[in-house]
């Protein structure tokens, strides 16, 4: 990516979501920072390690959000994403997605 004014290269910032395993075997992906989250995968989509989970906008800076290395599974809950809103305000540690690894094999 390059800056349209100077023509110089601009590094795009990236963050990795935090993964927590639940007792039922599902994985909860949480926000690593505050911001406005957009571009979430839809319920029923398969998530794999390193995949884009959308973007976080904080103070006008867009940061790409990636799935952690331990994240794999079918999105079974998107915690309010895509409910008629272009963006969802999130805090550090807010649940973003719930993945079911056992359903990913059948998808």
Q: What is the reported pTM? A: 0.82
Across residues 73-79, what is the average pLDDT?
90
Q: Residue 104 carries which DSSP code?
A: H
Confidence of residue 85 (pLDDT cuts 50, 70, 90): low
Across residues 83-106, what is the average pLDDT?
83
Nearest to 81, CA basis, from 63, 92, 68, 94: 94
101 — phi, psi (to 5°)? -65, -30
Rounded Cα distance between 64 and 15, Å, is 6
* Model confidence at 81: pLDDT above 60: yes
Confidence of residue 22 (pLDDT cuts 50, 70, 90): very high
pLDDT, tens digit, 9 for 90 and up, residues 56-71: 999 989 999 999 999 9
* Model confidence at 1: pLDDT above 80: no
pLDDT, position 91:
95
* Model confidence at 80: pLDDT above 90: no
């Amino acid at each position: 990516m390059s800056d349209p004014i100077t023509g110089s290269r601009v590094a795009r910032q990236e963050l990795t979501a935090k993964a927590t395993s639940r007792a039922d075997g599902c994985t909860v992906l949480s926000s690593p920072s505050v911001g406005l989250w957009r571009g979430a995968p839809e319920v029923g989509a398969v998530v794999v390690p390193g995949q884009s989970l959308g973007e976080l906008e904080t103070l006008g800076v867009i940061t790409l959000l990636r799935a952690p290395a331990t994240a794999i599974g079918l999105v079974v809950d998107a915690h309010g994403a895509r409910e008629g809103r272009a963006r969802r305000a999130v805090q550090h540690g807010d649940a973003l997605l719930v993945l079911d690894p056992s359903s990913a094999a059948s998808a």
